[in-house]
Amino acid sequence: MIYKFCFLFILLLGCQGNKNSKSESHKTNSEIQYEVNVSKYLMGTIVDVKALHPNVNECKKSLYFAFKEMERIENLLSSHKPESEISQINLNSGIEPQKVSFETFSILQRAKKYSEKFDGKFDVTIGVISEIWGFSGESEARIPNPKELNSALKLVSYKNIVLNETDTTAFLTKKGMRIDLGGIAKGYAIDKAVEVLRENGVQNFLLNAGGDIFVSGEKAEKLWSVGIKHPREVENLIAKLELKDLAIATSGDYERYFEKDGKRFHHILNPETGFPSDLCQSVSVIAETAEEADVLATYIFLIGKETKFKNYFLVDSSSEIHFDKNLQAKFSLELLSSEK
């Protein structure tokens, strides 16, 4: 069995830099903009922010506040943090409702709405399935036996999340249920970091959290260029496009996976079957917020090329490329692979 982790599945063109480094300056029509790049390990991946600002020290200070905000959200929402509110909800599943902050309550409300909208294909109670596959990081990755999987599937349903708005409590009705906000929380954390940066006067930046990206403003009066990695040749790009004031997120079968008997088993699990979805190799989605892009990338990965949503780039299980025509007209999509 081969077990592999590949985190950065969207490559930022020309965006490699050292931690806390001022790598270059860019002259615009109005002033010199210094480029500041800061990276940190958060939310299970490398978070990298590249920003342009006339004052390096002020920019670094703003980046510090943005990273602190993402760290706060991770401590609040990560099921891998024992003291997080999500972990406390999981710990008390089938026992009693858990009092939570308004922020946690709100994201759970939105998660349930997404689940309803997508007929349960997106379901944050998938945590118990991820755990038995070993994708939660708490055990070695493996294929669960049928009896184990069937038992776990009985614990997966967003309908069994009870939210009491009056008391701001959350309750999982069945003991053993487990919420995992992996398909929404990182996008939300990015959006909150974007708010912090803009409130502190940083308008031109690119924030990359392991492939979930938000692009704000411009780079030296040009649009930011973002490359999408090839899902089977991860050192190469399959496409690139240009963005401004938008998010892009990717779900790929090469982020966390293992191989057994020549077959790839990855971490994007179908809540109905408990098995990895086999319709796509990767899906990238552009949206106004990172949260929405994060959720949509997961959802479209599970339903495949039949999606009715716009602004997606999809590589199916046969390595065929599918994309919304808006990508070329609105975002200057350029295919870099011969597989068209």
| Domains of the chain (ranges, CATH numbers) | 2-74+184-312 (3.10.520.10), 85-172 (1.10.3980.10)
Half-sphere exposure of 201 (CA within 13 A, CB side): 11
Shortest CA distance to 103 belongs to which of 89, 85, 88? 85
Per DSSP (E only), the strands in 30-142 are: 32-42, 45-53, 98-99
Helices and strands in the chain: count of H runs, count of E runs: 8, 19
Least reliable range by pLDDT among 7-11, 28-32, 212-216, 232-236: 7-11
Could you give the CA distance from residue 190 to residue 69 in angstroms, rounded to a whole number? 9
What is the structure's pLDDT at 325? 87
What is the pLDDT, as a whole number, of residue 19?
Answer: 44
Strand ordering across the sheet containing 32-42:
21-27, 32-42, 45-53, 204-209, 212-216, 246-252, 280-287, 312-316, 321-323
Instruction: Give residue 53's identity as a one-letter amino acid code.
Output: H
Confidence tier at 170 by pLDDT (50, 70, 90): very high
5-45 pLDDT tens trace: 343 434 444 443 344 444 456 655 557 899 999 999 999 99
Q: How many residues can be counted in the chain?
A: 340
Split at pLDDT 50, 70, 90, the class of 133 is very high
Q: Cα separation of 255 and 150, whole Å? A: 25
